[in-house]
Amino acid sequence: MKKLLSLFSGCGGMDIGFEGDFLVEKSFINTRTSKNFIEKEIDGKYLLKKTIFNTIFANDIEPSAKISWVNYFKKRGKDESIYFLESIVDLVKKHHNGNFIFPNKIDIITGGFPCQDFSVAGKRKGFNSSKNHLGKQTIDTPSVETRGMLYTWMKEVIEITKPNVFIAENVKGLVNFGQVRDIIQKDFSRIGKDGYYVFEPKVLLSGNYGVPQSRQRVFFIGLKKSALKKGVLEELEKKNPSEDLSPYPEITHKINDKILFVKNEEDLKRHTNLHEAFKNLLEPDKTKDLSQKYYYKAKFLGNHVQGQKEISLSKLGPTIRAEHHGNIEFRRLSSENGGKINKELDKGLKERRLTIRECARIQTFPDDFDFVIPAKEVKNKFILSQGAGYKLVGNAVPPLLAYHLANKIQRNWKKYFKEIS
């Protein structure tokens, strides 16, 4: 097994995907291109195979993130002590002071450094964020410890642990943010004595990988030069390197039958949709699943207000965003408010917004991941609330997208790296 160190882990979408061994809807997998993903079929879903990666360290500053991560991964034999509820800045400082030691012999680091300052949904302050590394509005003058510079602390952890591979994830908006993309790529390439070969950052559209969502994210992937096999670096540095060495997964689904001009185009499957994603989900008043039972009940405010649209069951889902939990899109609108899902309205189903579970399905989280957790001692109290659940889902990397990445890197591992005797 390859040891994985997870940074800015959130509730663990990337970690779930990189480890595998979770259930997805059958329609999410293209069996013509990805039959080797499938371990077996269980209750009409596919159980994805385990990968070679094992998460041995995770961190975040949000208590709700740790609660949800630990609740899921303890079922898979992980101890909550490997999840550190501390800022990456504080962890690095402690390491240098000898009060904390990062794990040894790390093979791969993954991390989605905070994206709010690069997102089109945020204020787009980028490197000039006025929030500190704990996300608090307390800094007048930007510094290396402000939120927009946290990628440099991820770089520091890579410097300390020297993994063979690192993967850094962020919002699509970062690639169009002045020279930010080039600066980050160059900074990552200079890590360590011999440096890292950093591939050209690539924007991946989740819908191209079976995720029923229009979400786009940019990925930076680096390989430690000193660990590469002879000839690999020379090939990568060519003007047109071999596609076989790319760490980015081949697409498996096409959006709206769009011609893509890829070598496996005839094998591509049409994108999944929300009708398939919501298969067998009961209505909130009929279910025992708390993540499906609870949803925001804000009323329809008119089409001119954000978050007032009705989803289309025949299309990809909207991008689930953390900041939209209060006005998440409608699962269905009433006919008076322009609702078009007549089959459901004719059955007497009422107007409502998307539930947390429906959002999680759009993100491809397995149904055994709990986003609402009640307190055992006090009735109607929660250790993980409805509001926190929506936010956690919105901040996550879709596990299925991460699984595609993990599989491509797993397949290429022996192509990239020297065998260690």
Q: Which residues contact 31 (CB under 8 A, 6 or more apart)?
A: 38
For the cut 80, the answer to whether the pLDDT of residue 129 exceeds it is no
Burial annotation 347-363 (CB, 10 A radius, 16+ → b, else e): eeeebbbbbbbbbbbbb
Overall average pLDDT of the 248-271 stretch: 83
100-104, 124-128, 275-279, 405-409: which has the minimum mean pLDDT? 124-128
pLDDT tens readout for residues 328-352: 999 999 999 999 999 999 999 999 9
Pair (282, 265) in one structural domain: no
Confidence grade of residue 264 (pLDDT, cut at 50, 70, 90):
confident
- 115 part of the active site: yes
Structural domain includes residue 406: yes
How many folded domains does the chain comprise?
2
pLDDT tens readout for residues 22-61: 999 999 999 999 999 999 999 999 999 999 999 999 999 9
Pair (166, 290) in one structural domain: no
Overall average pLDDT of the 81-87 stretch: 96
| pLDDT for position 127 | 43
Pair (347, 227) in one structural domain: no
Structural domain includes residue 372: yes
Pair (94, 159) in one structural domain: yes
For the cut 90, the answer to whether the pLDDT of residue 379 exceeds it is no
| pLDDT for position 331 | 97
| pLDDT for position 124 | 39
CATH of the domain at 369: 3.90.120
Specify whether the CB–CB gap between 215 and 396 falls below 8 A. no
Pair (175, 110) in one structural domain: yes
24-28, 72-76, 320-324, 399-403: which has the minimum mean pLDDT? 320-324
CATH of the domain at 27: 3.40.50.150
Pair (352, 264) in one structural domain: no
Structural domain includes residue 143: yes
Pair (157, 304) in one structural domain: no
pTM of the model: 0.92
For the cut 90, the answer to whether the pLDDT of residue 137 exceeds it is no
Pair (327, 259) in one structural domain: no
Pair (220, 98) in one structural domain: yes
67-71, 170-174, 216-220, 269-273: which has the minimum mean pLDDT? 170-174
Structural domain includes residue 421: no
Structural domain includes residue 150: yes
Structural domain includes residue 389: yes
Pair of tokens at residue 5: 């160190």
Whole-number Cα distances in Å, 317 to 217, 268, 330, 363: 15, 19, 11, 9
Structural domain includes residue 148: yes
Specify whether the CB–CB gap between 157 and 5 falls below 8 A. yes
Can you give the residue range of the structural domain that contains 183? 2-269+397-416
Structural domain includes residue 288: yes
Overall average pLDDT of the 1-19 stretch: 98
Cα–Cα distance measured from residue 57 to residue 107, given in angstroms and rounded to the nearest whole number: 12
Pair (81, 197) in one structural domain: yes
Pair (48, 194) in one structural domain: yes
Q: Active-site residue among 115, 311, 362, 405?
A: 115
For the cut 70, the answer to whether the pLDDT of residue 324 exceeds it is no
| pLDDT for position 370 | 98
Pair (119, 155) in one structural domain: yes
pLDDT tens readout for residues 143-179: 567 766 788 899 999 999 999 999 999 988 777 765 7
